[in-house]
Structure 1
């Protein structure tokens, strides 16, 4: 285990990639600021990680669609720890329906949670980092951001492309500062959130996926596909495929 006094804040930390990354960071000696809607899951995770690794774990309830609460929770964590080294904008949802099929409310919720709520998290994070004159902002996008996708993926892919462009714009703004900005594009990682889905191409289990994510984050890249193989190559292929082939994606 690497000894470290650094603190990482993770949103959407009660399950899936958020909880998995929390476990990986705790094993590396990081203190943790964890937030999500389900506080009972957060408290279980706190007990698990503080007991196993002896790190400080603080938890707070957060609905990222309550934008005022986002700012309040981030500032609360900053006060508790005195310094936040890394903030991971991870909270999001994978819902979506075909455009024009009568499910605007579902698509609107996906767009708001994955982009507008991410904007609030980035605003709150960069406010803290500017004050500290240091920090590492990590935005979790998706390989689906590489192209506009059909069927139930249309709004989801668009929201993940939007958040990737948001992160790139922030990175451009902060190029000549001590603040770093990373955008991660995960491929298919099997978690409890997609446990009922059919087997997906190149999918990997949650624990392995979170290992790859945390290793990538610690390198502080501008952008990274996770895992690098085969997704870095797939990202190039997806951008040049004819639309008629993209339209076959499920």
Structure 2
């Protein structure tokens, strides 16, 4: 079972389809029930014969997120992969962005990773699972006019790196993929291509622990063999190299 936290019609859907094609049952978490119902139907329509479920939740609400993850685990009996695919885009410069805006966006785009992992950890530990996170190039190349986006992406990358060692001790693999481009069909950043990389990273959990790596990039110039998830920039088991 894969749980996609922050499921939407772009990468969230592509990720769900990629994991479903690999035989994973799928759970979708997002804010709007109607949108999730439509996404689940589109995954079902691919005909892979997996179970697809969903739960509408505000991922910035830690208690609600924990309850949603708990219901999924209780219903399915297991959780193999947690895919955190959350960010909040807010247009605005210095004068248009308040400290409350920044903290609120961090609660959604960054703190939701901690909340989801805390809720999912017992099930992930039991399954020898994986946590994969969608990162973005704004983490170290901030986007002008969208102040909080880069802060979210830098913080979520740092948070996963900080958690990776403890997760590994629990037998849970962790990886983040920094996507250095704009998602668009027919480009190196086609959501389907990004989803394939995320699936490959999640599958690292089947390798020996000493081969687990945390920080990965998609630059758009990778050779074909990076589809195996081996395009590492730095970091193994939470320690920068």
Q: Give the TM-score normalised by the residue count of structure 1.
A: 0.76
Equivalent in the alignment of 1:15: 9
Equivalent in the alignment of 1:36: 30
Number of residue-to-residue matches in the alignment: 217
CA RMSD, 1 decimal: 2.8
Equivalent in the alignment of 2:192: 207
Distance 1:207 1:112, change over 3 A: same
Q: Does 1:26 align with 2:5?
A: no
Unpaired segments ≥5 residues, structure 2: 206-212, 223-229, 235-241
Q: Could you tell me how far apart the structure 2 residues matched to 1:203 and 1:82 are?
A: 36
User: How far does residue 165 in structure 1 lie from its aligned partner after superposition?
Assistant: 1.2
Equivalent in the alignment of 2:55: 60
Say which SS state the counterpart of residue 13 (structure 1) adopts: coil
Instruction: State the structure with more CA Rg.
Output: 1
Distance 1:180 1:213, change over 3 A: closer
User: How far does residue 109 in structure 1 lie from its aligned partner after superposition?
Assistant: 3.3
Q: Could you tell me how far apart the structure 2 residues matched to 1:138 and 1:150 are?
A: 23
Distance 1:112 1:152, change over 3 A: farther
CA contact (8 A) 2:82 2:132 kept: yes
2:166 alignment partner, one of 150, 160, 173: 173
Q: Could you tell me how far apart the structure 2 residues matched to 1:109 and 1:191 are?
A: 28
1:142-161 to structure 2, matched below 5 A, reads 142-147=136-141, 149=142, 151-161=144-154
Q: Which runs of 4+ in 1 moved over 6 A?
A: none
1:1-250 to structure 2, matched below 5 A, reads 7-51=1-45, 52-99=47-94, 101-104=95-98, 105-130=100-125, 132=126, 134-147=128-141, 149=142, 151-190=144-183, 204-220=189-205, 221-227=213-219, 229=221
Distance 1:14 1:154, change over 3 A: closer
CA contact (8 A) 2:89 2:148 kept: no
